Structure 1
Amino acid sequence: MRLGLAANRLHHQAEDAALFSWLRACESGIRELELGLHAVGRTYDAIRAAHMLSGYAGIRRYPYGREGGLMKLVAEVVGLEEEDRRLDGAIYFIDPVDPSSIFPEALALKRQCVIHGKPFLSTVASARDWIEAERLHRGFAPDPQARRFYALESQTLALIAHDALKPAMLEFAERNFTLLSRFARRVGTGTTGQKLNEMAWSKGWPADRPWVDRYQSGPLGGDAQIADLVLERRCQRVIFFEDPHVARQHEADIQLLERAVTTATHDTVCMTTPQVAQRWCDAAVKR
């Protein structure tokens, strides 16, 4: 498996920066998985300067972002003829106030991951969670340090889907109903929340209480309400099935939720496609 790797400047400037926090927590898992990392220039240089992944042959240096490094990762997510230049997803530790995080190549990297059903991991929590899920799929023993990602009974889960993906969200929630019901609380935006409640009631969930606590619809501010939960560290996992093919009238609200997730980088996991979310559910059952 191979992932693209990039981090905005904030996330590799200090010893406790996001990039280094992730590597300290996951270096053994990276080696166990023999994970290939195609790292944009400045990110690669920071890893080497910090003497991390020493002797690891799986990391590969790409040009600086200004020289097209991130653009190359986008092309590799889509897939190139050379077998060793096809990525299975990307880790991009985003500083939400860094202007480069909204450059076309940065937005395209996420969009192509979503289109192709590949993980786009923009927070430390998401990247740590992904490594543990892949370890479990490979048959490795659970990492005790990753236990918090599976303490569902004390966590809140947000379930959100754009119109074209609401059927996929309903199918996903019904297939994984037992697992998702373990969360202490589930929240969602307007229509999605209502449809999920109707599904849960049809499966025997008590009719006098909602399975999902409904917020406003996305265009009326539901994304902003859930973003506030994320910022207060009261929502630990967001499953947001995004439709990358349509213009969205409330794009600013969607971006606000995404910025909240990356602000809470150590605390919030975000998954944006049915394929990635299902793979996590399968790993959680294994654990």
Structure 2
Amino acid sequence: MASTPRRLRIGLAANRSHQDNCNSALVRLLAEANGAIQRLKPHFVVVGRTLDAMERHGLLPDYPSVERFPYGREGGLMMLVSRIVETDPTRNLDAVIYLMDPVDPSSNFPEALALKRQCVIHGKPFLSTLAGAREFLELEAIEAGAPPDPTLDTAFDLGSDSVALIAHDAMKPRMLALAEKHFDLLDRFAFRYATGTTGGLLNQLAERVKGSSAGSKWVTPFLSGPLGGDAQIAELILSRQCRRVLFLEDPHVARQHEADIQLLERAARTVTDYASCSSDANGADRWLQLLGQRAG
């Protein structure tokens, strides 16, 4: 007899601008993804003010599995960080949805930065945009047996979409391995972009797979990150020409161009209903596999 999959445990928080009005990102996420949530029935660990907003908007009424954490000013986000690194499976988190407003100063508070960093270190999805959170719940629900949500079909039309592939030096072998394993899926995108050396390595891979003529321009390479490549891709995101970014970060090295990395994430959060930026190297293989299933 097959074992029952463990229920997902998801941390949930939203900056104030994403929770106050009836069309905010938090309201849209929980309303539009209600079917996926009811299929998955995850346990939500929710920071205080975000849970207040859910109750005020009538979101997930009578949902049976919600744990309240204190307000952010009382340590709620810091406690989410602790749950990411927790080893007890009855207490740890599998993913964090933190809908971030790029102009909210709290987005750069130490607890917010630590939350994202620990997710990267421990291989947990850190979902900071509405589009990224919707996609995560959709893919997990389909894996659990739910039918695809037809309202999201355009977001999975890869032939009309683009993806950016970026990797720090220590993560370039992982990126190349992922690209080789999921080459057919990545080849379905209308355009692929990358920064500096990563772009050149990916084109070398494509030449081996498709031949020198077809593969030499498989990826459009921009400048290296420290020289402005992150900013070039950020412009594509802001102009809605690139929906997904897979950025394999090395969280264990000092990064002189940290501001450029944050710029890229900030661009995705600015168009929160369109773009997503993932840094989860351990989960990238699963993401690409599920993306392929959903895209058909």
The two structures share one fold, judged by TM-score above 0.5 = yes
Separation of aligned partners in 2, 1:86 and 1:255: 26
The Cα of 1:284 is off from its aligned counterpart by: 2.5
Distance 2:211 2:120 in 1: 32
Contact 1:162 1:242 in 2 (8 A): yes
Whole-angstrom distance in 1 between the partners of 2:58 and 2:27: 10
**How far apart are 1:285 and its partner, in Å?**
2.8
Give the structure 2 partner of residue 68 of structure 1.
75
Please say if 1:9 is aligned against 2:54.
no
Residue 263 (1) aligns with residue 270 (2) = yes
Aligned amino acid, residue 16 of structure 1? N
Taking the aligned partners of 1:148 and 1:131, their CA distance within structure 2 comes to 16
For the Cα contact (< 8 Å) 2:36–2:146, is it kept in 1?
A: no
Q: Distance in 2 between matches of 1:87 and 1:148?
A: 30
**CA-to-partner distance for each residue in 1:127-174, whole Å, 9 max, x for gaps?**
000011101211221111221231100001000001110000000000
Share of identical aligned residues, percent?
A: 53
CA apart distance, 1:58? 1.6
Q: Do structure 1's residue 202 and structure 2's residue 201 form an aligned pair?
A: no
Q: CA deviation at 1:277?
A: 2.1
Paired position in structure 2 for 1:193: 199
Which stretch has the larger CA shift, 173-182 or 146-155? 146-155
After superposition, the C-alpha distances for 1:218-270 in whole angstroms (9 at most, x for unaligned) are 01000000000001111011111011111111111111111101111000022
Matched ranges for 1:1-287 at <5 A: 1-81=8-88, 83-207=89-213, 209-287=216-294
The Cα RMSD (Å) is 1.1
**Partner SS for 1:85:** coil
Q: For each residue in 1:184-229, what CA deviation from the matched residue of structure 2 results, as whole angstroms up to 9, or x when unmatched? A: 0000001000000000101124525411001000010000000000
Q: 2:274 is aligned with what amino acid?
A: D
Structure 2 portions without partners, runs of 5+: 1-7
- Write the distance in 1 (CA, Å) between the matches of 2:246 and 2:76: 29
> For the residues of structure 1 that align with 2:27 and 2:126, how far apart are their CA atoms?
18
Larger displacement relative to structure 2 (256-265 or 131-140) = 131-140
- 2:45 match: secondary structure: strand
Map Cα deviations across residues 68-118 of structure 1 (whole Å, 9 max, x no partner).
Answer: 11111100011154x432100100000111111111110011001100111
Q: Which one is further off, 185-194 or 22-31?
A: 22-31
Any runs of at least 4 consecutive aligned residues in structure 1 with deviations exceeding 4 A, and if so which? Answer: none
Cα offset, 1:63, TM superposition: 0.3
CA contact (8 A) 1:172 1:274 kept: no
Distance in 1 (CA, whole Å) between partners of 2:200 and 2:87 is 42
TM-score normalised to the size of structure 1? 0.97
Q: TM-score, normalised by structure 2?
A: 0.94
Matched AA of 1:4: G
Cα distance between partner residues in 1 of 2:57 and 2:142: 28
Displacement of 1:60 in angstroms is 1.7
* Residues 205, 211 of structure 1: 8 Å contact kept: no
Q: Which amino acid aligns with 1:148?
A: T
- Structure 1 gap segments, 5+ residues each: none
Name the CA distance, whole Å, in 1 between partners of 2:211 and 2:109: 45
